[in-house]
Structure 1
Amino acid sequence: MHIATLDPGASPLDYYGYELRRYREAAGLTQRQLGVIINYTGSLIGQIETAKKLPTLEFSRQVDAALNTGGLLTRLLDLVLRSQLPSWFRQVAELQARAVEILSFETHMIHGLLQTEAYARAVLGALDQGNLDDRTAVRLARQNIFDKAEPPVFWAILSESALYQQIGGPEAMRGQLARLLAYEDNPRINIQILPFAVGAHAGLQGSFDLYRFESDPTIVYTEGYGGSGYPTANPATVKKCSLRYDHLQAAALSIKDSAKLMRRVMEERYGEQRDAVGDSVAEVQLQR
């Protein structure tokens, strides 16, 4: 059987595959034998070893435990997934990972750091269905920044239109709004809705993010249609966008009133979302 030669320096994904094979062979296991132990197919293990398939967090944890790697593959996973982002977005992902505070304004959709799997798949698959599973996993992996020992404080202002733009269908939207409601009592993830009734507002020029750091200058980030993003630390731009954000925050509903609006939209537009014991999520939220 021909054994593919692996170059661990080719990419983070190749390095992951190299280490997976090295630990597996050191344990004296074939791909099929390891697959039996961790409940994955030997074929999938082969694809990951040869950098043809992205590993998942669950896969990494299972292999780390089975091969006694000391958690190496799980630690490598963030680097692997970040390397799969479009080249123009990698700097932004790094900024998100380093920021102590993220302030976001979105005009028509839910921010990627708050998206559910179903919602993210619908967004990413709108024009391109290729490699959708991996691209969705890469987007969701960015949310791991909230699992850090000291996660960033995240302020998200969403235009009310984001609640009505039916991305992924009613079921996906119910799940997405339920996810947003789950953050209501989390002091580090704060969601406010900018209602239609505000009319003209400071964010009419479009969506933007502000990334604040412990000691580095604040960064403003915007996106365009050219398949690229525009981060800048220009002091004048940062000052103007910070002022815009202050005005948007003042015009937006409070966190509690925003949650009430999201519950109402979830019930009236997308039907009820029930929890594991059959209770309406919206009703449970209203009783809190």
Structure 2
Amino acid sequence: MVNIRSLDPSASPLDYYGAELRRMREEAGLSQPQLGKILYCTGSLVGQIETAKKVPTRRFSEQLDAALMTGGLFSRLVGLVLKSQLPTWFQPYAEMEARATYISSFQPQLVVGLLQTEAYARAVLGVRTDGDLDGRVAARMERQRVLTGEAPPVMWVVLTEAVLRQEIGGKAVMRAQLAHLLRMQEQEWVKIQIVPFTAGAHAGIMGEFNLLRFDSDPDVVYTEDFVQGHMTANPAAFREGSLRYDHLQAAALSVEGSATLIARVMEEQYGDRPEPDGRALA
């Protein structure tokens, strides 16, 4: 049965997307099942997106634009929709992150969000999530587009060895995640260092933080607890964060040594075998 739930297009970006989808589908003289057949999905999925019960993906939006010849309308709207799926307190940081020219990130427990695979992100977000898990995962993947744009930021990431060895989502998920880190490391604007267990106490032992630098805006330091994030452009806080980051880089293995450790953990702990040059096998 066709879902004809009434929508308020002004309620949210997701509601607006659904209302526009319904309007343009009806103008094209297509039922939900007919449009679903064109998009290689179910009519039920079309109905769920039209009624704001399901978050559209970027791929769905691009296929929709092609099917309805919208001139890219839904590909433009989906960015707003996915951004709205991020926690409200995180959205200001995500906007700053997308504008940064240099991102320095330290994570002692998890792979940083911008470098997570979809399966790894799903395992992390699935531990405890309110609302649509698919939407939360899609929103995290959308954030990563900042690294594939025309002018990506320089991104320097420091992780602890614990991040590599903490099995999240199973061995196959971790193997793919570590292989992804090695692939991203090949990009000239992405560098990854690992603080080994042998480093002992280090400057990041109190927790994660990110530093964002901009061409014209004040630099920002961002920290996060289990409730929300905290962002400040206070120069003294940024200097402290920069100093801690410098110490972390000094304690970490070199970029090359870090890649070797990542490959070794893949082989020893997750059953993969890297190529002689240290890259993961396809």
TM class by shorter chain equals over 0.9
- Where does residue 233 of structure 2 map in the other structure? 233
Contact 1:184 1:256 in 2 (8 A): no
Contact 1:102 1:152 in 2 (8 A): yes
- Where does residue 276 of structure 1 map in the other structure? none
Alignment of 1:1-288 (within 5 A): 3-128=4-129, 131-225=132-226, 227-272=227-272, 280=273, 282-283=274-275, 285-286=277-278
Distance in structure 2 (CA, Å) of the matches to 1:231 and 1:4: 39
Distance in structure 1 (CA, Å) of the matches to 2:217 and 2:130: 38
Shift in CA distance, 285/28, structure 1 to aligned 2, threshold 3 Å:
farther
- One-letter amino acid of the structure 2 residue matched with residue 231 of structure 1: M
- C-alpha offsets along residues 33-53 of structure 1, whole Å, 9 cap, x if unaligned? 111211111111111111111
Match of 2:269, SS state, is helix
Shift in CA distance, 156/100, structure 1 to aligned 2, threshold 3 Å:
same
- One-letter amino acid of the structure 2 residue matched with residue 190 of structure 1: K
- One-letter amino acid of the structure 2 residue matched with residue 13 of structure 1: L
Distance in structure 1 (CA, Å) of the matches to 2:112 and 2:203: 18
TM-score by length of 1: 0.92
Gap runs ≥5 in structure 1: 273-279
Distance in structure 2 (CA, Å) of the matches to 1:215 and 1:9: 34
Aligned pair count reads 279
Match of 1:104, SS state, is strand
Gap runs ≥5 in structure 2: none
Contact 2:154 2:189 in 1 (8 A): yes
Match of 1:21, SS state, is helix
Distance in structure 1 (CA, Å) of the matches to 2:37 and 2:162: 48
Match of 1:286, SS state, is coil
Distance in structure 2 (CA, Å) of the matches to 1:2 and 1:53: 13
CA RMSD of aligned residues (A): 1.7
Deviation at 1:285, TM superposition (A): 4.0
Contact 1:35 1:45 in 2 (8 A): yes
Deviation at 1:250, TM superposition (A): 2.1
- One-letter amino acid of the structure 2 residue matched with residue 48 of structure 1: I
Match of 2:238, SS state, is helix
Deviation at 1:193, TM superposition (A): 0.6
TM-score by length of 2: 0.94
Distance in structure 2 (CA, Å) of the matches to 1:136 and 1:287: 27
Match of 2:55, SS state, is coil
Distance in structure 1 (CA, Å) of the matches to 2:248 and 2:216: 25
Higher mean displacement: 3-12 or 49-58:
3-12
